[in-house]
Structure 1
Amino acid sequence: MVGTGASVSFGVQEVADIGAVQTPYGSVTVAALLQLVFVATLCIVGAGGLFSYIAAARVLCRRERQRVAAELEAFESFQSYLQSSTPAASPATPADPQRTLVQQSNDSLAAVRETFAETVMAVDHYKEDYDETLIEHARAELGPDAGGALAEADAFTPGLRSVLVDRTNAAIRQREQFLAEMDAEAESLRESERRLTDPVAESATLVEPLDDEYPALEARWQRFGTVEGHVEQVVTDRSRHATDENTSVPSYLYESFPVPDPVVADASAALGVIRDRRARVTDALTRAN
Structure 2
Amino acid sequence: MAATHADDGSDPIRAARSALRVERRRVVDEREALSAFRSRVSSIPDENAAETGGGGFEGTAGVGGAVGGAVRDAVGNAPRPGSRLVAVREAYRDTVMSVPHYAEEYDDTYERSVSEEFGPEMAYALTRTQSFRAEYKRSLLGAVETAVQEREAFLDALESEIESVERAGSRLDPIRSEIEAIADELGGDEADAADAGFGALDACRTRTVALREDCDRIAARRQRVLADHERRLALGDDLDLPEYCYQRLDVSYPALAAVGTVGDRLEALRSRIERAMACGD
Q: List aligned pairs for 1:130-279, cutoff 5 A.
A: 130-210=106-186, 211-244=195-228, 245-246=231-232, 249=241, 251-279=243-271
Give the equivalent residue in structure 2 for 1:58: 17
User: Considering only aligned residues, what root-mean-square deviation do their CA atoms show, in Å?
Assistant: 2.9
Q: In structure 1, what is the Cα distance between the partners aligned to 2:101 and 2:154?
A: 17
Letter matched to residue 158 of structure 1 = A
Matches within 5 A, 1:32-71: 52-71=11-30
Deviation per residue, 1:208-255 (Å, 9 max, x gap): 433434223212211211101111222222122112124872652233
Q: Could you tell which deviates more after superposition, 226-235 or 197-206?
A: 197-206
Offset at residue 85 of structure 1 (A): 2.9
Instruction: Tell me if the contact between 1:138 and 1:151 (Cα under 8 Å) persists in the aligned partners.
Output: no
Distance 1:219 1:188, change over 3 A: same
How many pairs were matched up? 236
Does the C-alpha gap of structure 1 residues 279 and 150 become closer, same or farther in structure 2, counting only changes over 3 Å? same
Worse overlay, 119-128 or 231-240: 231-240
- Equivalent position of 1:18 in the other structure: none
Deviation at residue 89 of structure 1 after TM alignment: 5.8
Contact 2:41-2:91 within 8 A present in 1 as well = no
What displacement does 1:172 show? 0.5
Aligned partners of 2:48 and 2:244: how far apart in 1? 43
Please, which runs of 5 or more residues in structure 2 have no aligned partner?
Answer: 52-73, 187-194, 234-239
Find the counterpart in structure 2 of residue 284 from structure 1.
276
Match of 2:93 in 1: 117
1:157-201 deviation digits (Å, cap 9, x = unpaired): 211110010000011011111111111111111111111122121
Q: Distance in 2 between matches of 1:51 and 1:182?
A: 23
Deviation per CA, 1:64-119, whole angstroms, max 9, x where unpaired?
Answer: 11111111110000111122332246997xxxxx99xxx89971221111101111
**2:65 maps to which residue?**
none
Residues 204-213 or 132-141, more deviating: 204-213
For residues 134 and 200 of structure 1, what CA distance do their matches in structure 2 show? 50
Amino acid paired to 1:57 = A
Q: Which amino acid aligns with 1:153?
A: T
Structure 2 counterpart of 1:82: 41
TM-score by length of 2: 0.75
TM-score of the superposed pair, with normalisation by structure 1: 0.73
8 Å Cα contact 1:89/1:104 also seen in 2: no
Instruction: Say which SS state the counterpart of residue 156 (structure 1) adopts.
Output: coil
Distance between the aligned counterparts of 1:241 and 1:138, measured in 2? 33
Kindly tell me: are residues 249 and 109 of structure 1, through their superposed partners in 2, closer, same or farther at Cα, counting changes over 3 Å? same
Q: 1:115–1:183: structure 2 CA closer, same or farther, 3 Å change rule?
A: same
Contact persistence 1:217–1:285 (CA under 8 A): yes
Structure 2 residue matching 1:155: 3-state secondary structure: coil
Q: Is the 1:87–1:161 contact (alpha carbons within 8 Å) kept by the matching residues of 2?
A: yes
Which 4+ runs in 1 deviate beyond 6 A? 103-106
Residue matched to 2:62: none
**Structure 2 match to 1:39:** none
Q: Write the distance in 1 (CA, Å) between the matches of 2:10 and 2:20.
A: 15
**Pair 1:143–1:135, CA change in 2 (3 A):** same
Any conservation in 1 of the 2:13–2:254 contact (CA below 8 Å)?
yes
Determine the C-alpha separation between the residues in 1 that align with 2:110 and 2:9. 45
Which segments of 5 or more consecutive residues in structure 1 lack a partner in the other structure? 1-44, 93-97
**Contact 1:200 1:274 survives alignment (8 Å):** no
Per the TM alignment, residue 280 of structure 1 is displaced from its structure 2 partner at its CA by 3.1
Q: Give the drift of 1:206.
A: 2.4
Report percent identity of matched pairs.
28
Matched to 1:69, the amino acid is: V
Aligned residue number for residue 189 of structure 2: none
Higher relative contact order (CA 8 A, sep 6+): 1
